[in-house]
Amino acid sequence: MTDTLIPLVVMTLGAGTPLIFAALGELVTEKSGVLNLGVEGMMIVGAVAAFITASGTQSLWLGVGAGCVAGALMALLFAFLTLTLQANQVATGLALAIFGAGVSAFAGKNHVGVALKLPDGGLGGLGDVPVLGTFLQAVHPMVILSWVLFVGVAWFLYRTRPGLVLRAVGESPTSAHAIGYPVIRIRYLATVFGGVTSGLAGAYLSLVYAPLWLEGMTAGRGWIALALVVFASWRPGRVMLGAYLFGGITIAQFFAQGAGIGFASQAMSMLPYLATIAVLVLISRNAAMVRLNTPVSLGKPFHAGA
């Protein structure tokens, strides 16, 4: 029983981890009032930057760092266009996603299909602990990093003064500006943080989850991460739940295919996305709850002179 359960749990955690990284970053961004729809683009650029760096240095963590930097630069571009030049956030986010797909395809054209072999990053002596040790040994350190990120984001948003200020900027930027808070600077920082975590998600995909580079390997996970933020009603704990729900359904369809269940593989592959759509439809039926939890200024431009 344990021999079957532990691999299943580990694979579910692994499948949900990139969504946790990307969705938690987007949650912080949206809490500041900025709607960045370019998560998919930031993820895929982070993935290719991480892969190219890691393949050249044979270092997992240098690759991860490169992915974070690439995601941050993409987010900085988005922030400059929308916060400084006041471009439309929805249109700019969609353009960022398309731009990221093109840039990643060009940058990674010489690495397509190349497999990457890096140290597995196990947790050493913890593997000697009965049952739990086997589980910890099987879990990649980046999965644990996602748990640390979750705790940090939840603590920051609801237990610190800067987190309160960030939420205030998302609710009423005019009031926050009136009492002296630098709204644009705070939104810049929140947006770049979302870029860093999206790049981290992409790095996890290309270095850990499937250590190779393929064009479009994010496979819509950036859009799923955006949906998860709404599914979670902008709450970190629900982001974790939604990410692992998606991960569990993803792994379940692989097990079902392996068990020879008589459904087309294409139909099985659609299950995680269909589940996400179903959840969003159910949530949208409760318009009052959506309005209650949505940051009031989400997607609305702020003019410092207003």
Please give the pLDDT value at position 258: 62
State how far the Cα of 199 lies from the Cα of 192, in Å rounded to an integer. Answer: 10
Give 183-215 pLDDT, tens digit per residue. 999 999 999 999 999 999 999 999 999 888 988
List residues bridging with 112 in a β-sheet.
Answer: 213
E-state strands within 117-261:
none
| Band of residue 268 on the pLDDT scale cut at 50, 70, 90 | low
At residue 93's C-alpha, the angle toward residues 186 and 152, to 5°, is 45
CATH-assigned architecture of domain 2-293:
Orthogonal Bundle (1.10)
pTM: 0.90
Give the pLDDT of residue 36: 97
